[in-house]
Structure 1
Amino acid sequence: EALSQSQILKEAFTTAPILSHFNPSLPTIVKTDHSDYALGAILSQVNDSGKHPIAFDSRKLLPAELNYEIHDKELLGIVWALKCWRAFLLSISNSFEVLTDHSSLQYFISSKVLTCRQAQWAEFLSEFHFTITYCPERGVDFISKNPQNFHQAIKQDGIQESRFFSIKVEILSDLVHKIQKEVWQDKDYKEILKKLARGESVTDYSLEPQAKLLLLKNRVVIPSNEEILLNILQKRHDSPLAGHPGQEKTLKLIKRDFDWAGMNQLIKDYVSSCQKCSRNKDIHHKKFGLLKTLQIPSGPWNSLSMDFITQLPLSNNFDSILVVVDRFSKMAIFIPAYKTITSLELAQIFISHVFSKHGLSVSIVSDRGSLFVSSFWTNLFQQLKISRDISTAFHPETDGQTKRVNQTLEQYLRMYVSYNQDYWHTWLPLAEFAYNNAENSSTKQSPFFTIYGRNPSFDSIHISHDSPAGKLSKKLQSVQQIVKEELESAIRRLKKYADRNRSITPDF
């Protein structure tokens, strides 16, 4: 019976009225799409009854094609589709239409700057008489987005921020139900759940009262289910709110709320195989030369480091990013700016984004950029009684704090900004959240935890750790004391390794 039903489906997809014969005199439409792992295309024509499909086709991307940028993947879909149906499309006397959900492809034919690959494709496409029309994607087609061939990914291009967050809530709510269902069916946890349901106590285990999730030391126990594990990994690594962190930071983000057997190895394998991380992240090498370290700040926002990321593509007329980092908590602020900003405008930005929220700082560490050594800054610091520490010549490590944060921010933007790179400024708040929510290697705490004594919730699964006001105050003091000790330890380690192959400068 199953075989007969399968045969019926095959016939339905390959015979009339689903498919019809190609007629060169009818208006013809080719629709293409791609995912991270596959291509799909539909050849259709418009007759008296409306649009009618002629043929469907799809294929997986080759290993080399997986590394193409989004623009080239979309263009590859068009080239491949026209090769598939070349005989049909060359027989058309009139122009046919190619539909794509990538708006920049409308201008590809008239583009004057092409890569070698794109030039070869342009030569092939010149055989055909067609127009490329932008068609926003309203639904997901199964051909190019077969879930058996790739991990589910959320498409960022063109999604409004409000829709984006509503979609995430639905996914995570569904995830909660899946965890609840699977853990109650897992043979390893059945007896524990039964005891807890009867009100009996089990060492280290408890039952979350609302969703009835099993907790181990206040973390949600995840059953051995590949779909659930992959979903969690995607939310805590791939998501813009996570920011593609490294192995250790991904592990810390997941360990806040989840627990399962073999967690460390699974996270290591997942992050090490992440293509976006391998393409966009730098390999950090140890630097050489004697290291001059700065004094450890006495508390949050007492000492800042500031730097600019410049020469960025225009985004709402912004072409630079001002990066401000609290040297104690490592909390960062990312502010869109201009390369031609004046010292007066910079002072106004500083007052609006930093001073208004965190007050005056004892010192601000900066490089030897013209903005920071201008007479205005000198006068401003004198009036505010803030000392300005400037990097020692040939010692960029003095201001290495923001340099490393700059690298992290640039990596984040490469992960999520669209191919056109024209709206990167809208991603800065999410990048700032992701950075401040990740554990810092020096303090062993996230900047959020150092400042507020708790980590923020950024999805629907979050276990409450509320404390009375008195306990919270003592907790913050304890946390900040630990942070200070960790910073001292980190500086000792940094200087030890940095000076390993260096020697003291002799007196002349």
Structure 2
Amino acid sequence: MALVYAVVKWKHFIGTRSVTIETDHATLSRMLTQKKVTTRLGYWLDKLADFNFRVVYKSRKQNLVADALSRRPDYMEKVMLLAERQQEEDKSGEAPKDPRRLEWEKAYKECENLRQMVKTCEELEIDEGTGVHISLTEEGKEYHWIEGLLWVKLRKGWRLYVPTVDKRKDISQGFHDDPLAGHPRIKKTTLDTKRIFWWPEMRAEIERYVKACPACAQGRNAYAKYGLQQTLPIPNFRWEVINVDLIMGLPKGKDGYDAIVTVVCQLTKMAHFILVNQATGAEELGRVLVREVIRLQGVPLAIISDRDSRFTSEMWRSMLPPAYYNENVHSLPPSNGWLG
């Protein structure tokens, strides 16, 4: 009911104020006073009970404001096109074919797997009772060719056979990517599509499409199940595994440094504290690590960092031997990354 939709939609404007609703529907003006109420009307009246309003009847000629909204001039072009099309149908006695339907008919005849089946269906006799071609039974399924579309009969009824890969992709996109669809998961997308369409290996193709959807990959990380907590392996030798971190935001000292690089042995907890600038780039940090730590302690087998961009950039990698630098990426920036 439009009246219920309107008051609920504008509830934040109406509040507890007394409002007047003008309509050219005479029955609505009497709905609050009639004695007998149907179940459906009672449901709507229960929703309207939260609002303070009265309904006033206005004839169509007087209700000019509503006409300004519902009979907008920018819609008249479409209305005129529909009217002209209807006139053409009345004159010719035959409705012009929809361009999209012509595309589907062409796709059926271009598909190698369906070309012969469509040809056979077209050659079958027309049933005098229904005026359509007699159905074709092949491999346990029943097929019907009706007005340029191929239909297949399944257990739950007739479904439209989707011929080509491009058409199947368009269908999957419509049931998954469309704003009204809302990027549902694989099961929901498949069920919605199966209500109207069918093609071989349908679920597998829809599953591949949904898994490859970039919007789903970006938006569903927050809802994914967390993995099991795992501790880092205990190293066997000193300086085999090191922790690297940056302490920043310090007041600038006499030497002009305002940050500290901490390098800690994972086994012995022995540490190196190296003065640097907060603006120091990845290349310079790599030189500092080689000069102050690797020169003395040897090349580590693994490095644990806090995922700072300076520790993961290509320049930083270039300062270390490639054989010792393989990255196990963590999804959260604050987590320690195991580099080894």
Shared fold per TM-score greater than 0.5: no
User: Using CA pairs below 8 Å that are at least 6 residues apart, which structure has the higher relative contact order?
Assistant: 1
TM-score by length of 1: 0.21
- Between structure 1 and structure 2, the one with the greater Rg is 2
